[in-house]
Amino acid sequence: MTQEVKEGKCIIFSAPSGAGKTTIVRALLAEIDYLSFSISACSRAPRGKEKDGVDYHFISVEGFQAKILQNEFVEWEEVYSSNYYGTLKSELSRIWDSGKTVVFDVDVIGGLHLKEIFKTNALAIFIKPPNQDVLEDRLRKRNTESEGNLQIRIKKAKEEVLRAEEFDCVIENDQLELAIATAHEQVLKFLSR
């Protein structure tokens, strides 16, 4: 059964892996109480201290594919081979029903899909790393990927940075506090319209 989703406003944060979008999103969620994080679904295993239902809804590949067939996603994507990510319709309903604004922390393709779906009800922000070397260094310091997976992420990041101008706003995350302040200002400006 397809679940209808009523539309409210949403803020979309996208960036290559390692650019710092999650850190910026967490800061905004702590500062602005009427924002609420949309917990994405994914088919990969949890990393580090990630918790199901907090960081992601961890679903098996088969379970994810079943939800696709049941039309339970607003958007979804196979980001890497057999590695699915998506936004459940039930997540958006949960947040909008509570009177809050949805905040997405998604990859670049997912962000562009969401922007296309929600149009003027969405503010799409691209978090840009200062340069490729900084991005690679951040990914290596995470120490969560094999060298092969790391190289795949680095290659994908180079491609994603080329899409930055398709977003409503581009914020370079060279100085974290400044990036957070700029994001805060952009979000408040959008929500006051």
In a domain, 133, yes or no: yes
H or E element that contains 78? strand 73-80
The pLDDT of residue 154: 80
In a domain, 2, yes or no: no
pLDDT tens, 128-164?
A: 988 777 777 777 777 767 788 778 778 888 889 999 9
Share of the chain above pLDDT 90, in %: 65
The pLDDT of residue 6: 53
The pLDDT of residue 186: 97
- For the domain that residue 122 is a member of, what is the CATH number? 3.40.50.300
Is a pLDDT exceeding 90 seen at residue 82? no
Domain that holds residue 93: 10-191
The count of structural domains within the chain is 1
What are 163-168's contacts with CB under 8 Å, separation 24+?
A: 163/108, 163/112, 163/126, 164/126, 164/128, 166/112, 166/115, 166/126, 167/14, 167/111, 167/112, 167/115, 167/124, 167/125, 167/126, 168/115, 168/123, 168/124, 168/125
The pLDDT of residue 79: 78
Positive or negative, the CA dihedral 156, 158, 162, 166 is positive
Lowest mean pLDDT among 13-17, 47-51, 77-81: 77-81
In a domain, 67, yes or no: yes
Q: What is the mean pLDDT of the chain?
A: 89
In a domain, 1, yes or no: no
- Global model pTM greater than 0.75: yes
Is a pLDDT exceeding 50 seen at residue 57? yes
The pLDDT of residue 3: 40
In a domain, 5, yes or no: no
- Confidence tier at 77 by pLDDT (50, 70, 90): confident
